[in-house]
């Protein structure tokens, strides 16, 4: 599943600081992504990321969904939180451990039946556009409902997502149009990752606008308490609280 993605992470970790992988969409659109963004230190984070994490209470138990190499998980751990890094890529988990992350869990959040390692969490993170990593709308709502059950009373869900409607790129607009004609959400994309000669499997990722994300949250037992989005940036960060 993550041979190409994992190899690009390992290349950077081993000193190839210019490592890049390619994200290919099923309409042929390709984008080169520098791997260094997955290793950014706190000093390099966006203000929106920083503001979002300030909502985390002291000494929280945190589940970082799609933790990657532990960019946020290790920072939070160093701040005194107990953090479990969850990822489906074994290479990412291995690097996160090497960076000092104490608790990791190799698995797919879309198929998890219970909270990993702990009975519940005070905070669940889904950063790096992981909000829609289970694909379509029904699966996303099922995931949110399940994550709600993983949270303690008044627990927080913090995530980022790219608003697919914030674009004037004709290739993206044509993709949205094709989706609508097929009865699909405009921001549902099918993609795969390529690194050198390695090619990962195709998978679905859902992008939604903030108002749609809020509706998903309401349907899953959450209430929005904060939204952060830099003007001109399509990525937004949303903080929601579990409702009693």
- pLDDT at residue 37, rounded to an integer: 94
CA distances from 5 to 88, 132, 188 (A): 11, 18, 20
Structure tokens belonging to residue 53: 């994490």
Cβ atoms of residues 107 and 89 within 8 Å: no
Which residues 6+ apart lie within 8 Å of 230 measured at CB? 46, 47, 48
Verdict on whether the full-model pTM lies above 0.85:
yes
Domain count across the chain:
1
DSSP H stretches of helix in 46-89: 47-53, 71-78
Which pLDDT value is given to residue 191? 97
State the residue range of the domain holding 221: 3-242
Q: Is the pLDDT of residue 244 over 80?
A: no
The confidence score (pLDDT) of residue 13 equals 97
Tokens of 104: 């990791």
Q: What is the CATH number of the domain that holds 233?
A: 3.40.50.150
Secondary structure class of 33 (helix, strand, coil) = strand
Token output for 146: 């399940």
């Amino acid at each position: 599943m993550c041979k190409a993605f994992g190899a690009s992470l390992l290349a950077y970790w081993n000193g190839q600081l210019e490592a890049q992988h390619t994200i290919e969409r099923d309409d042929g659109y390709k984008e080169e992504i520098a791997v260094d963004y997955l290793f950014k230190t706190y000093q390099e984070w966006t203000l929106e990321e920083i503001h979002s994490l300030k909502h985390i209470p002291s000494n929280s138990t945190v589940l970082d969904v799609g933790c990657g190499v532990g960019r946020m998980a290790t920072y939070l751990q160093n701040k005194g939180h107990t953090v479990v890094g969850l990822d489906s890529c074994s290479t990412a988990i291995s690097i996160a451990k090497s960076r000092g992350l104490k608790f990791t869990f190799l698995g797919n959040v879309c198929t998890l039946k219970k909270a990993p390692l702990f009975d519940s969490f005070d905070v669940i993170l889904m950063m790096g556009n992981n909000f829609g990593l289970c694909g379509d709308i029904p699966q996303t709502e099922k995931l949110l409902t399940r994550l709600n059950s993983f949270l303690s009373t008044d627990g927080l869900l913090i995530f980022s997502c790219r608003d697919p409607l914030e674009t004037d790129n004709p290739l993206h607009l044509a993709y949205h149009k094709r989706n609508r004609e097929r009865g699909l959400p405009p921001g549902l994309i099918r993609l795969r990752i390529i690194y050198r000669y390695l090619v990962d499997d195709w998978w679905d990722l859902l992008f939604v606008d903030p108002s749609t994300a809020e509706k998903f949250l309401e349907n899953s037992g959450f209430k929005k308490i904060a939204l952060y989005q830099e003007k001109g940036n399509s990525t937004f960060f949303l903080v929601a609280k579990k409702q009693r």
